[in-house]
Amino acid sequence: MTTETETHPGQGPESPLGQPAPAPVDWNAAPIRTLDAVEIEKTIPHRYPFLLVDKCHILEEKKRAVGLKGTTMNEHFFQGHFPGHPIMPGVLIVEALAQTACVLMLSGGGLDGKIAYFLGIENCKFRQPVKPGSLLRLQVEMVRMGGRAGRARGEAYVDGNLCTEVDLSFVLAPKS
């Protein structure tokens, strides 16, 4: 058995198991809808100073979204992290990715009265620092979604450069 991919006329490349390779993802596709800060606050419970998504473009319902977070020197975390060399804490970048995933899941309807809680953070890597004045692009794709739990893959970029990548797992629970 060979592990090389095969290409058949009229079909795309196949994986080693003979399944069609997934189509490449276009993260710059036109959104099917966009949520501003007011709509995001209607969707998830986070509020300033812990609301870390300014805008969210839904590219594919319940599947893919791009969140945006503009950073300024006025952000509370830059004051102490680190004086003279301000960078956004990595855990807050992960939180911003998680909030983008929450907006993606909860804004499409069908989950009214639910809230998402972290179950796990895996394969997290911080590639470069995020400095004041950066526009953080938060790309999130749902990998698996069940009735009560799911997994998402998140990547954060500044100026096209990968800053953070992470696999997130979560559980949906009733709001109390």
Catalytic residue among 8, 46, 76, 81: 81
Is 76 part of the annotated catalytic residue set? no
Contact between 135 and 155 (Cβ < 8 Å)? no
- Distance linking the first and last C-alpha atoms of the chain: 54
CA-nearest of 164, 12, 173 to 91 is: 164
The amino acid at 46: H
Using DSSP, state whether 84 is helix, strand or coil: coil
Phi, psi of 29 (to 5 degrees): -60, 155
The DSSP-derived string for 61-73 is TTTEEEEEEE--T
Residues 6+ apart with CB under 8 A from 28: none
Active-site amino acid positions: 81
